[in-house]
Amino acid sequence: MPAPLQSLRQYLKVVDAVLEVADARLPASSRYPDLEKLIGSRARVVVLTRADLADPAATACWLEKLRAGGTRAVAMNARTGAGDRLLYQYLKAIARAKGEARARRGLGEAPLRVMALGIPNVGKSSVLNRLAGRAAARTGNRPGITRGPQWIRIKDNLELLDTPGVLWPRWQEPRTALWLGALGCAPEESVPVVGIACLVGEFLLREAPGTLAVRYGIQEQGGATDILAAIGRSRGFLLPGGVVDQEKTARALVNDFREGRLGRFTLEKP
């Protein structure tokens, strides 16, 4: 278990529920293996963010699979809040159970304490901000915006704990690292953008032929490297001497993919 996750143990002790935030486009690889062990008996909800960028049919299958395994799971757009109703229902039920358990022990009401856990830039702060109904936690489109654990206290008997994203060592496995890079969940310097762009290019050529041709006005001929060169030429991303600027082209393709401008895709099937 990564050391930063270990250091969250002290917080886990004081929360009632954990929101395990993962990316709907990569629902398996963006989740922690063995998180149950760390969470213990605490209530858990898997929140798949960026549902607006994932394939809706695949998201439905993922939710079904998770729920079939007894896991509470929701998919939402954490930026707009679309799809958050079920999350509220889950939290309400968890709060009710906590209240009843306390009443049985002769204790009064206490706020529900909820913590968000997940990899960097997956949308943890955004989810909590939806729950808080305001921009209480800092968000940003790059990893590392949330520096240390941060409590957000809101009325309605709810206390939220935001945490910095933690990556798991197994994500250094090259392919996973590239996919996490494609989603913007890995530190920029750790994954080569040209490598990410080639993986994205191959994926699109295979899964959505014609997409690149339409978007960039190119012929889909050859492999990912040829496609990248064609995009660079078509966009006029050239270095002195007329050579295609691979880095700049790769960045443009990856950004388009990340923001959903090439369509809605789920990279892992259930």
Ligand X SMILES: Nc1nc2c(ncn2[C@@H]2O[C@H](COP(=O)(O)OP(=O)(O)O)[C@@H](O)[C@H]2O)c(=O)[nH]1
Closer CB to ligand X, residue 165 or residue 232? 165
Q: By C-beta, is 76 or 231 nearer to Mg ion? A: 76
Q: Work out what residue 77 binds among Mg ion, ligand X, none; the CB cut-off runs from 5 to 8 Å by kind.
A: ligand X
Which strand (E) or helix (H) includes residue 215?
A: helix 211-216
Q: Are 241 and 228 in contact (CB under 8 A)?
A: no
Residue 146 or 249 with smaller CB distance to Mg ion: 146
Minimum distance from residue 131 beta carbon to ligand X (Å)? 12
Query: Can you give the length of the chain in residues?
Result: 270
57: Cβ–Cβ under 8 A, 6 or more apart, which residues? none
In the 8-state DSSP scheme, what is residue 73? E
Residue 120 touches which of Mg ion, ligand X, none (CB < 5 to 8 A by kind)? ligand X
Distance CA 197, CA 53 (A): 18
Q: Is 165 annotated as a binding residue?
A: yes
122 marked as part of a ligand binding site: yes
Residue 157 assigned to a binding site? no
- Give the interface with ligand X as residue ranges (CB under 6 A): 49-50, 52-53, 77-79, 118, 120-126, 139-141, 145-146, 165
Q: Say if residue 45 carries a ligand binding annotation.
A: no
Q: How far is CA 77 from each of CA 49, 63, 127, 158, 189, rounded to the nearest angstrom?
A: 6, 15, 9, 21, 27
Residue closer to ligand X (CB basis): 146 or 249? 146
Exposure string for 60-88, b = 16+ CB within 10 A, e = fewer? eebbeebeeeeebbbbbbbeebebbebbe
190 belongs to an annotated ligand binding site: no
The site partner of 123 among ligand X, Mg ion, none (C-beta below 5 to 8 Å per kind) is ligand X
Smallest gap from residue 200 Cβ to Mg ion (A) = 24
123 annotated as a binding-site residue: yes
DSSP 29: T
- Provide the binding-site residues for Mg ion, judged by CB under 5 A: 124-125, 145-146
Q: Which of ligand X, Mg ion, none lies near 249, with the C-beta cut-off 5 to 8 A by kind?
A: none
Give the annotated binding-site residues for GTP: 121-126, 165
